[in-house]
Amino acid sequence: MLEAHQAKEGRASRVQTAPAIELRSLSKTYGRGSRAFPAVRSLSVSVAPGEVFGFLGPNGAGKTTTIKMLAALLLPTSGSVHIYGYDVQRQRSRAVQQIGAVLEGSRNIYWSLTAVQNLIYFGRLKGLRTAEIKPRGEWLLQELGLWDRRNQQVGGFSRGMQQKVAIAAALVTDPPVLLLDEPTIGLDVEAARTVKQWVHRLAKEEGKTIVLTTHQLAMAEELSDRVAVIKDGEIVADLPTGDLLDHYAENRFEVRIGVPADVVPAESFGNLQIEAFAPEQTSILLPSEDQHVLYTVLATAREKSLPIVAVNRIRPSLEEVFVEIVRGK
């Protein structure tokens, strides 16, 4: 137990002094000569402790290759990966102790083992004793609703339950960094919601650093503190999520009124677009950023005693921004 305590203290010291993740000119090329294919091209990225980093890109962009290099499952052609200051190639055992990974398709669990056996196996693999693994393993399985089936083979579980076991296996050593590669792929709505709630909890309540790759862009928008987009092996955008959305915001306004759409006297607002926003709110969309039009709408709302809830620049969704970036607009 003393060794484990000292290791945790050492890790805490590094957490305070180093980036959680640092990629330095990271590259990966498959094949040689005329058949060489550069999957990842000189990535340099730093992720702060406790940050949820949305790592997005189209199929074949280099996301999974990058995640595998982060997890020490694939050697880079050049460059380096550091996890809390540990070089993944030169200090592999120390580096991987900082990481928990949920890879696409539940690839980090063994279907022939039970849920408990999976947790013990992966905990032992990273240097923990069974006596250290069992209390946290029990807590994780109970929290994820798997305790009653802890002694059943994972191969007989539903896809959602297998994904929960994969999450528990990734967290059993209490790592400070979590790599989530398509964590909700193939899951039903309820299971996907559970995964999303856990990502939020791990980041906000436990201070985990999370790298999230997903095609569920609404989830990425909701959870990510920062978003980077990779295309053809290169980072083409990297900003805090709000700043990225603001960068692509349209130069026109929305006035939100606190009454249902069928109560709004549409004729008073001329040809402006009026839409129901929520059961008790209505959105009035202005065609431009013309301040005169905005003031006229506000004055009309006041004259008609319509409560103004908000005035916003029209902001796109992350999905819309992603499409624009990938298309090179």
Lowest mean pLDDT among 108-117, 178-187, 264-273, 302-311: 178-187
How would residue 182 be classed by pLDDT, with cut points 50, 70 and 90?
A: confident
Residues with Cβ < 8 Å from 5, sequence gap 6 or more? Answer: none
Q: What percent of the chain has pLDDT over 90?
A: 68
Q: What is the pLDDT of residue 323?
A: 94
Q: pTM score, two decimals?
A: 0.80
Say whether pLDDT at 9 is over 60: no
Give the H or E element holding residue 293.
helix 291-303
Q: How far is CA 181 from CA 56, 64, 104, 106, 171, in A?
A: 10, 7, 5, 10, 15
Rounded to the nearest angstrom, the gap between the alpha carbon of residue 189 and the centroid of all alpha carbons in its chain is: 17
Q: Three-class SS string for 40-61? A: EEEEEEEECCCCEEEEECCCCC
The pLDDT, as a whole number, for residue 192 is 82
- Summary mean pLDDT of the chain: 89
pLDDT in the model for residue 238:
97
- pLDDT reported for residue 6: 44
Nearest to 21 by CA among 51, 63, 42, 41: 51
pLDDT band at 105 (very low <50, low <70, confident <90, very high): low
Question: Span 81-98, mean pLDDT?
Answer: 95
Over 90: is that where the pLDDT of 163 sits?
no
**Each residue's pLDDT tens digit, 251-279:** 788 999 999 998 899 999 998 999 998 88
- Identify the pLDDT of residue 144: 87
* pLDDT attached to residue 120: 96
Give the number of other Cβ atoms within 10 Å of residue 131's Cβ: 8
Which pLDDT does position 107 carry in this prediction? 64
Confidence band (pLDDT; 50, 70, 90) for 198?
confident
Average confidence (pLDDT) over 300-315: 92
